[in-house]
Chain A
Amino acid sequence: MDLIMFDEEYRKIQAVIDQLHGDARGKIVYLVDKAGQHIAGSGDVDSIDATSLASLTAGNVAATDGLAKLIGEKEFSILFHEGKKDHIHISIVANRLILVIIFDDRSSLGLVRLRVKKTSGELEGIFKEILEKASRSQKSEEIESAFSEITDEDIDNLFG
């Protein structure tokens, strides 16, 4: 099923991860989906290639999921990578989203975990709304018409 994000939910998600960015004293916070699509970011997002980060994170989570199933676990819900200066905390939200926080020694693993827990609950709620909206097919008329207006010629033109 396609993941469809509307303005309203997008703004809510952005507000929640902006809050997390401040509360957890993180450098950057990203929300990506398990298929590797970048959804939203907060903090010094221009310093990192977000598209590559999303794809590699999803690959990392997928591989870890595979490991979990091999040993009979449902999932490993948290991944933590410790570097010399920067660290990455990765957690699964609502089974389908991945919350990534990059932080340094101005924060701590404990603080990040604490704040992530609170944020995860909020994101789960918003994501539920997104799914409900999508299942009610409440697509905006504007976008719906944008899709239906796409012609074969338009698609051909994309490739020059």
Chain B
Amino acid sequence: MAFINYASREVNCKIVYYGPGLCGKTTNLQYIYDKTNPNTKGKLISLATETDRTLFFDFLPLDLGMVRSLRVRFHLYTVPGQVFYDASRKLILKGVDGVVFVADSQEARFDANLESIDNLEKNLSEQGFDLMKIPYILQLNKRDLPTAMPVDELIDELRIKSEPYFEAIAPQGVGVFETLKACAKQVLTELKKNG
């Protein structure tokens, strides 16, 4: 549900980073924040516990500049990944335009990934969205860990609609901007289609 302001010729879109606890959603946003020109970003807001676990959401506004005569702004959000914060996760999906699913490549977290995708589908549908229709990107994070499963196996199980996927090592920035760019592109393409 983008906000299109014809008066100021602005388009504002919302992308939500979803995934199981400790998969690297906040790290994605932190990297984007660290590497973006200060003029094009707002504050990174983290509503986190004392131990830096996301409690409600992280939020980063990003100004991508002009496309033709329109100013394009993206609001990036993460959800809290821990299972018991489900009520909060639902709220963040309100008005979402695109979703990045950050999967944890480690074998031990495989079931948590599946559970989180199911949870995403359910929560999106409660907000009136269909996962099969909404702009959606899969990120396979933590590719540098020795316990990471082979990409093929992850894709077989986690890819749900031939969405683009990216291998990532979020703290080093590998795959981070590629993921965001792919999602932003899908969101804008969708807007263009509906526009």
Taking beta carbons and an 8 Å cutoff, which residues of A are in contact with B?
1-7, 10-11, 33-37, 39, 49, 51-52, 55-56, 58-59, 62-63, 65-66, 139-140, 143-144, 146-150, 152, 154-159
The reply to whether A35 and B95 form a contact with Cβ atoms under 8 Å apart is: yes
Q: Are B56 and A59 in contact, CB atoms less than 8 angstroms apart? A: yes
Interface of A is mostly: helix
How far is B70's CA from A3's CA once the two chains are assembled, in angstroms? 16
Contact A5 B5 (CB under 8 A): yes
A66–B185 Cα distance when bound, in Å, is 32
Q: Which residues of A contact B87 (CB under 8 A)?
A: 66
A144, A148, A149, A155: the one within 8 Å of B184 (CB): A155
Cα separation A150 to B4 with both chains bound (whole Å): 15
B1-25 Cβ-contact flags toward A at 8 Å (1 or 0): 1111111110010100000000000
Q: A35-B94, A147-B191, A158-B65 are in contact. Are A52 and B184 (CB under 8 A)?
A: no
Main SS of the interface on chain B?
A: mixed
**Candidates A2, A35, A150, A157; contact of B194 at CB < 8 Å:** A2
Inter-chain contact count A-B, CB under 8 Å? 127
Determine the distance from Cα of A2 to Cα of B194 in the docked complex, in whole angstroms: 10
For residue B177, CB closer than 8 A to chain A, the reply is yes
Interchain residue pairs with CB less than 8 A apart (23) = A2-B4, A3-B2, A5-B3, A5-B6, A6-B7, A35-B1, A35-B14, A35-B94, A35-B95, A36-B14, A37-B12, A37-B75, A49-B42, A49-B43, A52-B42, A58-B94, A139-B195, A147-B191, A152-B185, A155-B185, A155-B189, A156-B181, A158-B72
Chain A residue numbers with a CB within 8 Å of B61 are 51-52, 55
Q: Does B136 contact A (CB under 8 A)?
A: no
- Return chain B residues, CB-CB under 8 Å to A139: 195
B88 within 8 A of A: yes
- Which B residues touch A65, using CB under 8 A? 91
Least distance between A28 CB and chain B CB atoms (Å): 17
Closest 9 CB pairs of A and B: A35-B95, A147-B195, A10-B7, A62-B91, A37-B3, A158-B64, A51-B61, A7-B7, A5-B5
Given known contacts A2-B3, A36-B95, A158-B72, what 20 new A-B pairs fall within 8 Å (CB)?
Answer: A1-B1, A2-B1, A2-B2, A3-B2, A33-B3, A34-B94, A35-B1, A39-B3, A52-B43, A52-B61, A55-B77, A59-B92, A62-B94, A140-B6, A143-B195, A150-B67, A150-B68, A155-B184, A155-B185, A158-B64
A159 to B35, CA, bound (A): 12
Contact B75–A36 (Cβ < 8 Å): yes
Interface assignment of B133: CB less than 8 Å from any CB of chain A: no
Does B57 have its Cβ within 8 Å of any Cβ on chain A? yes
Whether A33 and B95, one on each chain, are in contact in the complex, defined by CB atoms closer than 8 angstroms, is yes
Contacts of B161 in A (CB 8 A): none
Contact A3 B185 (CB under 8 A): no
Query: With an 8 A cutoff between CB atoms, is B160 at the interface?
Result: no
With A6-B6, A35-B95, A158-B184 as given contacts, are A55 and B45 in contact (CB-CB < 8 Å)? Answer: yes
Q: Roughly how many angstroms separate A3 CA and B57 CA in the complex, as a whole number?
A: 23
Taking A150-B68, A158-B67 as contacts, is the C-beta distance between A11 and B91 under 8 angstroms? no
Tell me if B47 counts as interface (CB < 8 A to partner A).
Answer: yes
Q: How far is the CA of A140 from the CA of B14 in the complex (A)?
A: 23
Residues of A within 8 A of B4 (CB): 2-5, 143
